[in-house]
C-alpha cells in the first residue's frame, strides 16, 4: 500500500488537481511531530487567488479522513498523520511476505543497460583509485537489476596502446622472470618505472617502444605472445580482487577487442563527411559545440581512445540494444565523453542521448599525487587486506570467542572499505587515509552490520524460546517504533532516487538511517523482556522486518551481512 499515493488521491478529490502533480509536491516533514506527510499549499495560492493558510484550512475540512489519524494545518502546510496501527501492520507484513525481494520492482523489465565499470589497465597496478569505478559500477549494477533492468557489466580493460611497446622494450632489458611469476604486477610496474627513468637518459628507447607497439598491431608473433602473457598474469591478479569483493562481469571486451572494428568507424566518418584533416591528424570538428575536435586518427595514422570508444558504443548498441549505456569513469574524462557522444550524434545516431557518463572524484593523497610512473601507488589489495586485518583485531578485542573469525573479519573489513567509498556524493574526491577509510565507529559499514547482528541475535533467542504469539500492531505506537516503521516503508523510494541520480550513496545513507533508527528503538524499547505479549510479538516482527531491509540494502552496495561479529 502506497500511502503517498493514497493521500494524493484524497487531495485530488478535494481540489480537482492532477494526482501526479500533487504527488510531486507531497513531502515528509522535517520533524515527526509535524506529521507523517505534508502538502504545501503555497503554489496553489496563485491559481486559487487565496492565501496559502486559508487554502490549507479549507482543504483540511474537505479531505476524506478515512485511514488517517488526523489532519492538521500549520501556516500554509497541510499535515497528515496516518493511522499508526494499520500503517505499521501493512508495512511490516509486506516486508515479511517479500523477504529478500522487499524493495524490488519490475519497472525496468525488458530494458537492457550496459554498464562500463572498473576497467583497469593491464600491466598496471590495480590501486585504491580503481575502487571508485569498481564499487560505484557494481552497486549501480545491483540497484538497477533490483528494479528489473537487465544489466550487462562490461570491464573495458585497458589492454592496448603505446604503453605495451614500452613494456615489451623494458621486458627485454630488465625483467626478473622469477619476480614476474611471484608478483607479476609489481614486477611489471618496476620495469615500467625503470623504462621511464632510463628513457630520460636515452630518448632512443621511446622509438624502440613505438616500434614494438607497431609490431604488435601488425600481429608480429614475438610481441603478440608477450602481450598475451602480460595480459594473462595481470588478469589473474585483478581476478583475485574481484573474487574477494564478489564482483562479476558479463563481458571483458577491452580495448584490444575493438582493434578490428575501428576501420569501419573511420570509413563511416569519411562517408558521412565528418572527418577533416587538422595538423596532420584526422579529426571531427566540434567548434560549433564549443569543444576541441575529437581526434580519430593521429598524425602517424594510428587510432586513439576516442576511436575505440566510438567503435565500442556502436558495437554495444548492435549487440545489446541498450536502453542506457553507462560509463562509470572519473570526472577528469568528462570532456572526452562529451566529444564522443557528440560525434555519435553527428553520425546520425539518436541513441547517443542514451549514453551517460557517470563521473566521480579522484582518490588523492593529502601531500602528493598518485602516479603510476613514479610508482607512488597503494595497491587496492593491500587496502582490502589492511581492512580485514583491522576487523580481525577488533573481533579479538570485542568478541574473542567468535567461531569463524576470519570469515567475519573479511566481510566486516571489506564492508568498511566499500561503505566509505559509497557513502558520499560520488563527485566528491577522496583524500586517501587509512584511518578514515577503515573507521569502524559512527556512520560506517561495521555500524550497520553490527545493527544487523544485534537484530539477528534477538531473532535467534526468540526462536529458541519458541515464542509465537499473534502481534498486536496497535500497541506499536511509540515515536521510536513508528519512525523505524516509516523508514522501512521508504526503502523503494530511496532506490528509485538512487537510480534517478545514478547515485549509490542515496542507498548508503538510507541504510545508515535504518540502522540508527533501529539502535535507538533497541535501546529504548524492551523486546524479549516486554511484558505485554501482543506488543512483544509486534516488536519482534519489527526487528525481523528490519533485518531484511538492512540485508537487502547492504546487498545493493555489494556488502554482506554477518550473523555475529
- Of residues 365-394, those binding RNA (CB under 7 A): 369, 391, 394
> Per rule CB under 7 A, is residue 360 in the interface with RNA?
no
Q: Whole-number minimum distance, CB 179 to RNA, in Å?
A: 25
Q: Which three cell numbers stand for residue 402?
A: 567468535
List, in order, residues 6 or more apart from 402 with CB less than 8 Å away: 395, 408, 564, 565
Q: How many CB atoms lie within 10 A of CB 479?
A: 13
Does the active-site annotation cover 156? no
Q: Which of residues 229-268 bind RNA (CB under 7 A)?
A: 255
Cell of 55: 487554502
Question: SS3 of 81, please?
Answer: strand
Identify residues 67-96 at the interface with RNA (CB under 7 A): 74-77, 79
Is 392 catalytic? The answer is no
What is the C-alpha separation between 212 and 215, in angstroms, rounded? 5
- Of 162-221, binders to RNA (CB under 7 A) are 162-163
Concerning whether 130 is annotated as a catalytic residue, the answer is yes
Interaction with RNA in 43-62: which residues (CB under 7 A)? Answer: 43, 45, 52
DSSP assignment, residue 282?
Answer: E
CB 157 within 8 A of CB 375: no
Name which of residues 419 to 448 contact RNA (CB under 7 A). 423-425, 427-431, 436, 440-443, 446-447
Q: Which is nearer to RNA, 113 or 506 (CB)?
A: 506
Three-state SS at 121: strand
Q: How far is the CB of 239 from RNA (least distance, A)?
A: 20
Residue 280 found at the interface with RNA (CB under 7 A): yes
Among 32, 40, 67, 148, binds RNA (CB under 7 A): 40
Q: How far apart are CA 198 and CA 216, in angstroms?
A: 22
- Taking the complex as a whole, the smallest distance from the CB of residue 310 to RNA amounts, in Å, to 13
CB of 162 to RNA, least distance (A): 5
Of the two residues 183 and 386, which places its CB atom closer to RNA in the complex? 386
Q: Indicate the residue among 247 and 416 with the shorter CB distance to RNA.
A: 416
Q: Which residues contact 157 (CB under 8 A, 6 or more apart)?
A: 119, 120, 121, 122, 235, 252, 254, 255, 256
14-22, 147-155, 301-309, 376-384 -> range binding RNA (CB under 7 A): 301-309
Q: Which of 124, 317, 411, 541 is catalytic?
A: 124
Give the pairing of strands 37-40 and 77-82. Answer: antiparallel
* Pairing, β 363-364 against β 281-284: unpaired
CA atoms within 13 A on the CB side of 445: 34
If binding means CB under 7 A, how many residues of this protein chain bind RNA?
Answer: 96
- Residue 151 or 565 having the CB closest to RNA: 565
- Which long-range contacts (C-beta less than 8 Å, at least 24 apart) are formed by 315-320? 315/253, 315/258, 315/261, 316/114, 316/154, 317/349, 317/351, 320/112, 320/114, 320/152
Beta carbon nearer to RNA, 80 or 249: 80
d(CA 30, CA 74): 13
Nearer to RNA by C-beta: 77 or 322? 77
Q: Which is nearer to RNA, 181 or 399 (CB)?
A: 399
Cell of 116: 562500463
Q: How far is the CB of 303 from RNA (least distance, A)?
A: 7
Q: How far is the CB of 424 from RNA (least distance, A)?
A: 4
Type and span of the H or E element at 281: strand 281-284
Q: How far is the CB of 247 from RNA (least distance, A)?
A: 20
Of 11, 453, 537, 561, the one binding RNA by CB under 7 A = 453
Question: Taking CB under 7 A as the criterion, which residues in 476-515 touch RNA?
Answer: 497, 500-501, 505-506, 509
Q: How far apart are CA 538 and CA 469, in angstroms?
A: 9
Q: Tell which positions 312-341 bind RNA, by CB under 7 A.
A: 331-336
Q: Which is nearer to RNA, 112 or 492 (CB)?
A: 492
Which of 110/301 has CB closer to RNA? 301
Contacts of 360 (CB under 8 A, 6+ apart): 132, 133, 136, 328, 330, 331, 426, 427
Q: Using CB under 7 A, which of 289, 305, 315, 351 touches RNA?
A: 305
Minimum CB separation from RNA for residue 181, in Å? 27
In the structure grid, which three cell numbers stand for residue 436, read together?
Answer: 578514515
Catalytic residue among 127, 324, 486, 541: 127
Among 62, 70, 173, 398, contact with RNA (rule: CB under 7 A): 398
**Span from 3-11, 267-275, 277-285, 349-357 in contact with RNA (CB under 7 A):** 277-285
Of 123, 384, 395, 545, the residue at the interface with RNA (CB under 7 A) is 395
Residues in the chain: 565
Alpha carbons 463 and 456: distance in angstroms, whole number:
11
Place of cell 484524497: 10
Q: At what angle do helices 505-524 and 445-465 cross, to 10 degrees?
A: 50
Which residues inside 144-163 make contact with RNA, applying CB under 7 A?
158, 161-163
Region 508-537 residues binding RNA, contact defined as CB under 7 A: 509, 516, 519-520, 522-529
Cβ atoms of 143 and 189 within 8 Å: the answer is no
Q: Kindly tell me which of 105 and 425 has the beta carbon lying closer to RNA.
A: 425
Q: For Cα atoms 161, 166, 168, give the angle at the middle one, nearest 5 degrees.
A: 100
Minimum separation from the CB atom of position 149 to RNA (A): 18
Q: How far is the CB of 278 from RNA (least distance, A)?
A: 3
Which of these is catalytic: 130, 156, 166, 212?
130
Active site residues per annotation: 124, 127, 130
Amino acid at each position: 500500500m502506497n500511502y503517498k499515493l493514497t493521500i494524493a488521491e484524497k487531495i485530488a478529490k478535494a481540489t480537482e488537481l492532477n494526482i501526479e502533480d500533487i504527488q510531486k509536491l507531497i513531502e515528509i516533514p522535517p520533524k515527526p511531530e509535524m506529521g507523517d506527510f505534508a502538502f504545501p499549499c503555497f503554489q496553489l495560492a496563485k491559481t486559487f487567488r487565496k492565501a496559502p493558510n486559508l487554502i490549507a484550512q479549507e482543504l483540511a475540512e474537505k479531505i476524506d479522513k478515512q485511514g488517517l489519524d488526523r489532519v492538521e494545518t500549520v501556516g500554509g502546510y497541510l499535515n497528515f498523520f496516518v493511522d499508526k496501527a494499520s500503517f505499521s501492520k501493512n508495512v511490516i507484513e509486506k516486508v515479511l511476505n517479500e523477504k529478500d525481494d522487499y524493495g524490488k520492482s519490475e519497472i525496468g523489465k525488458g530494458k537492457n543497460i550496459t554498464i562500463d565499470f572498473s576497467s583497469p589497465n593491464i600491466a598496471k597496478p590495480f590501486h585504491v583509485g580503481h575502487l571508485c569505478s569498481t564499487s560505484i559500477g557494481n552497486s549501480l549494477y545491483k540497484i538497477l537489476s533490483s528494479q528489473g533492468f537487465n544489466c550487462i557489466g562490461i570491464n573495458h580493460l585497458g589492454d592496448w596502446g603505446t604503453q605495451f611497446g614500452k613494456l615489451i622494450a623494458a621486458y627485454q632489458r630488465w625483467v626478473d622472470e622469477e619476480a614476474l611469476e611471484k608478483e607479476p604486477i609489481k614486477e611489471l610496474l618496476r620495469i615500467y618505472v625503470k623504462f621511464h627513468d632510463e628513457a630520460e637518459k636515452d630518448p632512443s628507447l621511446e622509438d624502440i617502444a613505438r616500434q614494438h607497439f607497431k609490431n604488435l598491431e601488425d600481429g608480429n608473433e614475438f610481441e603478440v605472445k608477450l602481450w598475451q602473457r602480460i595480459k594473462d598474469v595481470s588478469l589473474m591478479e585483478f581476478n583475485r580482487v574481484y573474487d574477494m569483493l564478489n564482483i562479476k562481469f558479463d563481458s571483458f571486451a577491452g580495448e584490444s577487442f575493438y582493434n578490428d572494428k575501428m576501420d569501419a568507424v573511420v570509413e563511416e566518418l569519411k562517408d558521412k563527411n565528418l572527418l577533416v584533416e587538422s595538423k596532420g591528424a584526422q579529426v571531427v570538428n566540434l567548434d560549433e559545440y564549443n569543444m576541441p575536435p575529437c581526434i580519430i586518427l593521429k598524425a602517424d595514422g594510428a587510432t586513439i581512445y576516442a576511436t575505440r570508444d566510438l567503435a565500442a558504443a556502436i558495437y554495444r548498441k548492435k549487440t545489446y540494444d541498450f536502453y542506457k549505456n553507462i560509463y562509470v569513469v572519473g570526472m577528469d574524462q568528462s570532456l572526452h565523453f562529451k566529444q564522443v557522444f557528440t560525434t555519435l550524434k553527428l553520425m546520425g545516431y539518436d541513441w547517443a542521448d542514451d549514453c551517460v557518463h557517470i563521473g566521480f572524484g579522484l582518490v588523492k593523497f593529502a601531500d602528493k599525487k598518485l602516479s603510476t610512473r613514479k610508482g607512488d601507488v597503494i595497491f587496492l589489495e593491500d587496502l582490502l587486506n589492511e581492512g580485514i586485518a583491522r576487523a580481525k583485531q577488533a573481533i579479538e578485542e570485542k568478541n574473542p570467542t567468535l567461531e569463524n573469525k576470519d570469515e567475519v573479519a573479511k566481510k566486516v573489513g571489506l564492508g568498511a572499505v566499500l561503505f566509505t567509498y559509497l557513502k558520499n556524493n560520488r563527485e566528491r574526491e577522496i583524500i586517501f587515509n587509512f584511518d578514515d577509510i577503515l573507521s569502524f565507529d559512527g556512520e560506517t559499514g561495521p555500524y550497520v552490520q553490527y545493527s544487523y547482528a544485534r537484530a539477528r541475535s534477538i531473532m535467534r533467542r526468540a526462536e529458541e524460546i519458541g515464542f509465537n504469539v499473534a502481534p498486536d500492531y496497535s500497541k506499536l505506537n511509540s515515536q521510536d517504533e513508528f519512525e523505524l516503521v516509516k523508514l522501512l516503508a521508504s526503502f523503494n523510494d530511496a532506490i528509485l532516487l538512487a537510480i534517478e541520480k545514478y547515485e549509490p550513496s542515496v542507498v548508503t545513507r538510507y541504510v545508515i538511517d535504518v540502522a540508527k533508527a533501529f539502535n535507538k528503538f533497541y535501546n529504548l524499547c524492551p523486546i524479549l523482556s516486554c511484558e505485554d505479549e501482543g506488543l512483544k510479538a509486534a516488536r519482534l516482527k519489527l526487528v525481523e522486518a528490519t533485518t531484511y531491509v538492512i540485508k537487502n540494502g547492504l546487498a545493493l552496495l555489494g556488502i554482506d551481512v554477518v550473523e555475529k561479529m
